[in-house]
Amino acid sequence: MKTDVLVIGAGAAGMGAAIAAAKRGLNVVIAERDEITGGILNQCIHNGFGLHYFREELTGPEYAERFREQLEKLSDRIKVFTDCHVLKLGEDRKALLVSPKGILELEAKAVVYTSGARERPFGSLMIPGDRPSGIFTAGVAQRLMNIDNRKVGHRALIVGSGDIGMIMARRLTLEGTEVVAVVERLPYPGGLLRNVIQCLKDFNIPLYLSSTVIEVKGRERLEEVVIANVDEQFKPIPGTERSFKVDTLILSVGLIPQVEMLDGLVQTDRRTKGVACSNIGQSSREWIFAAGNCTAIFDLVDYVTKEGERAGEYASRYAMGERFSQNVPISPGENVMLTFPNFYNAVDDLTLYVRCKKPMEKAMLKVGNFEKIFEDLIPSEMIVAKIPNQKLSGLDRIVVELKEV
């Protein structure tokens, strides 16, 4: 089978990409390994989605539904394959699609890879102790509760105060699981301030900053979790241990872009650990475009949709024969932890996503001839700047800097 554009993954980025490509009149196949489209949005039943994209507040399933409807409207051009895993993608642009309906080889002119991210598992944290049941990543607990309607435990401790961790604290509390604490390694909360208030303060859930889990106990089901304060190098400080009798530990300690299917095909970025891309979503292999959390971990799904649409648009232009010129590398400079995209192509403006290295009250973002002041910066909150083409012309290297002012 042949198609113009193959989109791998039907989450926020993939749906955006498929719709953008179909709107340009191309034939699109979108392969989703889960039973329905929407990706992780389906399990995020809390609100707060769509404020940028739709200027209204939606739940995850509602946000996904809006795009699902568009996929259906464009069904003469978009073939949606769910329950369909892309087993491999070859240099010959052929993908092997595996589903209960059959095994299919599909050849595409361009591919948009939007496989999202996976959660950092418990094992990667190298926490000493037993290996009982009752330890879940936030996403697994969320899926069990929100999709499968299952109670994951009675008393829980949450590690990680990113938005997912805090939202799960509220969700568990509302469903009758007592949340004894949220533990954060950093000296400041990892997620948005609004979530600190709405998910923790409003429910009297204590947040322990500069703290980490140092041991889990329980031969069968989890019985006890020991935490301790950490020093500046995140090393536990002896004598600060505190123990909680809980049967559930929820980990929300970071997402890792899923890039493995493209191993050997494209370059990845050392900092984002995602597919290295230009501002039009093009990877180091010219016919592979990528978007969303498989390129860098984004704060908001709205951004992911935008990036997906852009990648879908340029992938279609590529499929129609357009070729794009040399890219300019973008690298983080002073006070910048990471930037996305990784390359700049002058065919379009630059939407730049930046994470700062440390909290700053006020800083000047400097990129080429572009300057803009930002306030109340924290590493967990992305700065987004739209930088017009002309501010970047003639540069052979773009350094992104944040100067404290």
Partner 1 sequence: MKIAVIGAGVVGSLIARELCKYDAEVLLIEKNMDVGWGVTKANSAILHAGYDDPVGSVRSKFCSLGNAMYTELAKELDFEIKRTGSYVLAFNDEEISVLHKLLKQGEVNKVPGLELHDRDEILSREPRVNPKVKMGLWAPTAGITEPWMIAIAAVENALENGLKLFLNEEVIGFEKSNGKIKKIITNKQEHSVDIVINVAGLFADEISKLAGAEYVPLHPRKGQYILLDKKLGKIVNSVIFPTPTEKSKGILVLPTIDGGLLLGPTAEDLPSDRKHDLTTTSEGLQQIKDFVLKLVPDIDFSLVVKTFAGLRPESPQKDFFISASRTVQNFINVMAMRSPGLTAAPAIAKYVVEDLIQDQLKLTLKRKRNFKSKREAIKKYTQLSLEEWQEVVARKPSAGRMVCFCNEVTEAEIVEAISRGARTLDGVKFRTRAMFGRCQGGFCMSKILKILERELGTDASNITLKSPGSWIVDGKVRE
Which CB, 72 or 105, lies closer to partner 1?
A: 105
DSSP, collapsed to helix, strand or coil, labels residue 183 as strand
Q: Spell out the residues 6+ positions from residue 320 whose beta carbon is closer than 8 angstroms to its own.
A: 4, 24, 26
Which CB, 48 or 116, lies closer to partner 1?
A: 116
User: How far is the C-alpha of 202 from the C-alpha of 198, rounded, in Å?
Assistant: 6
Amino acid, res. 120: R
Q: Are 174 and 196 in contact (CB under 8 A)?
A: no
User: How far is the C-alpha of 279 from the C-alpha of 290, rounded, in Å?
Assistant: 10
Which CB, 167 or 402, lies closer to partner 1?
A: 167
The CA distances from residue 358 to 19, 49, 235, 268, 381, in Å, are 38, 26, 19, 24, 11
Amino acid, res. 66: R
Which CB, 201 or 235, lies closer to partner 1?
A: 235
Which CB, 88 or 201, lies closer to partner 1?
A: 88
Concatenated DSSP letters for 340-387?
Answer: E-SEE-TTS-EEEEEEESS-EEEEEEEETTEEEEEEEE-TTS-EEEEE
Which CB, 128 or 187, lies closer to partner 1?
A: 128
Binding site for partner 1 (CB under 8 A): 33, 83, 85, 87, 96, 98-103, 105, 118-119, 121-124, 126, 128-134, 137, 139-140, 143-145, 147-154, 175, 214, 217, 219-221, 260, 263
For residue 98, the surrounding DSSP H or E stretch is strand 94-99
- Least distance from partner 1 to the Cβ atom of residue 128, Å: 5
Which CB, 174 or 193, lies closer to partner 1?
A: 174
Amino acid, res. 211: S
- Least distance from partner 1 to the Cβ atom of residue 246, Å: 14
- Least distance from partner 1 to the Cβ atom of residue 98, Å: 5
- Least distance from partner 1 to the Cβ atom of residue 318, Å: 27
- Least distance from partner 1 to the Cβ atom of residue 220, Å: 3
The CA distances from residue 146 to 136, 138, 151, 171, in Å, are 14, 12, 10, 9
Angle, helices 60-73/301-319, rounded to nearest 10 degrees: 20
- Least distance from partner 1 to the Cβ atom of residue 52, Å: 28
User: How far is the C-alpha of 273 from the C-alpha of 297, rounded, in Å?
Assistant: 9
Amino acid, res. 105: E
- Least distance from partner 1 to the Cβ atom of residue 256, Å: 8
Per-residue burial over 23-46, b = 16 or more CB atoms within 10 Å of its CB, e = otherwise: bbebbbbbbbbbeebbbbbbbbbb
Which CB, 144 or 395, lies closer to partner 1?
A: 144
Which CB, 129 or 379, lies closer to partner 1?
A: 129
Which CB, 111 or 384, lies closer to partner 1?
A: 111
- Least distance from partner 1 to the Cβ atom of residue 93, Å: 17
- Least distance from partner 1 to the Cβ atom of residue 225, Å: 13
For residue 338, the surrounding DSSP H or E stretch is strand 336-340
Amino acid, res. 136: F
